[in-house]
Structure 1
Amino acid sequence: MIPVISDPESLTTPATNARDETGSTFDLLADRRRRIVLRYLEESDARVSMDDLADHVALEERPGESGPVADLGDALLGTRRRVRVALRHVHVPKLDAADAVDFDPDANTVSLREPGAKLLGQLDSIDE
């Protein structure tokens, strides 16, 4: 026997906005490079050039090594180029589309926006 339901709206599926928002947050924070970008921008408190950002990300990905990129020699030069291309064409535009950063492709600079700071807050609460 099929039950009779007097409220047709009860048959609709619940809104998935909260789930979609959570999914997009995890998607943004899932990649290590995007997390590095957000943390670096938070520390800088100013617009950062893509070259400086690529240098920082390349150095963060090579644990145990520090100092300017020039000190690491030609071995890091190819890595830095790959990182810069990935940041410019994948990671920074994705963060910009989510309003986490402000990306100016003409000036080749990036800065943190308020939603990006909130993402970092969520990341910090997850880390704890």
Structure 2
Amino acid sequence: MTENRPRGNRIDDLFELLSDSHRRATIHLLARRERPIGVEQLAERIASQTWDDPSHEDVRRMHISLQHTHLPKLDDADVVECDFDAQRVEFTNWRPIEEGWQEARSWFERLDESSQHRSETP
């Protein structure tokens, strides 16, 4: 998530990043690993969480979805590091998510203060 952006954009980025169940599953799986994982293996694991008995086609679709949509978004946010040539991905850090969440909390607190101030004004 890019620094020095207009207020609210990091919050929007965070909620967009976490809005998809496959991205949340990817973060969860990768954060628990100490080493990189192959994109195909990741696709198999997420497909197994998504469908009771995923077919080869389900895993293929998941791989394509990860490769072209979910992993680039997570990589752009600096949550994961992808080596698309080697077809490997690894978790990098929670900081972008934590910073976005902290900004969201601050925004909600300011909103509460503003609402309280308006209700107290005669």
The alignment's TM-score, normalised by the length of structure 1, stands at 0.68
* Residues 78 and 39 (structure 1), Cα distance of their counterparts in 2 relative to 1, 3 Å cut: same
Q: Aligned AA for 1:95? A: L
Q: Which residue of 1 aligns with 2:18?
A: 29
Q: Which residue of 1 aligns with 2:36?
A: 47
Q: Which residue of 2 aligns with 1:68?
A: none
- Pairing 1:61-76 to 2, within 5 Å after superposition: 61-62=50-51, 65=52, 72=53, 76=55
Q: Which residue of 2 aligns with 1:90?
A: 69
Cα offset for 1:16? 6.9
How many residues get paired?
A: 96
CA RMSD between the two structures: 2.1
Cα offset for 1:110? 0.4
The alignment's TM-score, normalised by the length of structure 2, stands at 0.71
CA distance in 1, matches of 2:41, 2:7: 35
**Rg bigger for which structure?**
1
* Residues 54 and 18 (structure 1), Cα distance of their counterparts in 2 relative to 1, 3 Å cut: same
CA contact (8 A) 1:38 1:120 kept: no
Runs of 4+ in 1 over 4 A off after TM superposition: none
Q: After superposition, give the CA deviation of every residue in 1:72-96 in whole Å (9 maximum; x if it has no partner).
A: 5xx6111000000000011001111
Q: Which residue of 2 aligns with 1:105?
A: 84
Q: Where in structure 1 are there 5+ consecutive unaligned residues?
A: 1-14, 66-71, 123-128
Q: Where in structure 2 are there 5+ consecutive unaligned residues?
A: 102-122
